[in-house]
Amino acid sequence: MNSEIQIVFFDIDGTLLPSGAEKLPDSTLKALAALRRRGIKTFIASGRPPIHLPLLHALDGIPFDGYVTMNGQYCYLADGTMLYDHPIDPAALRMLLPYIEKEKLSTGFIEKDRSTFNLINDLSAEFCEKMQQPAGDVAARIEAAPIYQLSAFLPADKQEGFLRHCPGCVAVRWNDAFVDVLPEGGGKTEGIARVLEALGLSREQSIAFGDGGNDVEMLQYAGIGVAMGNACPEAKAAADYVTDDILADGLANGLRHFGLI
């Protein structure tokens, strides 16, 4: 058994949860339970915000020690203790508003406990219905609370123009339909670094599992980075090890390969 690793960070979509699935693979559930029995901490590391997690019923009843959410912009323990937060500069968001209204770009403004879209269109309608995300006065939300992330429904060829109108921000994509927009210096790596610091752990004591473009830096940063067999080429290239597909017991096999279960 590997005695050095003390904490594991898991992406959700495509890593813990297969696309379109209603539950985690049985092998993944057993692997998570085995990690807990060994006293190894388990953390979610996802682009999803905290308000999405209760709607992902596949995670119901699965205890995690903490969460790196919104691509590292809001990190907290299972008891709600906040470890790190990094909102977007409100001035950049105010500058963005005229552009997304002119271009009719459906964009979610995500706070800690709510998400509001400027408008809902054909690109975002299904997502907004599934995740219970309404349209509303986003200008008012910018003034009311910190905005940690934007979910912009736009094709890749419009991404550069979007960012020009939102200075000090970067984009990461894990879904073909939309892109997550974060403040510069943000990302899963920064969130994980802050979590490790708060827990008194080193990066060498961590292992991370991911599959998407927004997992690349996380896989490079962790002591061990594991890409799923179904991961994008960029994630596989960044990883120390590529395990099997999520539907072929990939997560459990990856943990087993490194002697963690």
Helix 26-38 × helix 250-257 angle, to 10°: 30
Tokens of 25: 């693979």
Token pair 């200008």: residue: 139
What is the tally of helices (H) and strands (E) in the chain?
Answer: 9, 13
In the numeric block, the tokens 């953390």 are attached to 43
Half-sphere exposure of 172 (CA within 13 A, CB side): 26
For residue 134 the two structure tokens come to 């309404």
Amino acid (1-letter code) at residue 89: D
Structure tokens at 212: 């998407």
Give the active site residues: 11
What is the layout of strands, in order, in the sheet containing 107-110?
115-117, 107-110, 149-152, 179-183, 169-172
Residue written as token pair 């943000």: 186
Q: Name the one residue in this structure whose structure tokens are 């403004």.
A: 109
Q: How far is CA 206 from CA 196, 202, 225, 226, 256, in A?
A: 8, 7, 9, 11, 15
| Rg for the chain, CA atoms, rounded | 18
CA gap 152, 157 in Å, rounded: 13
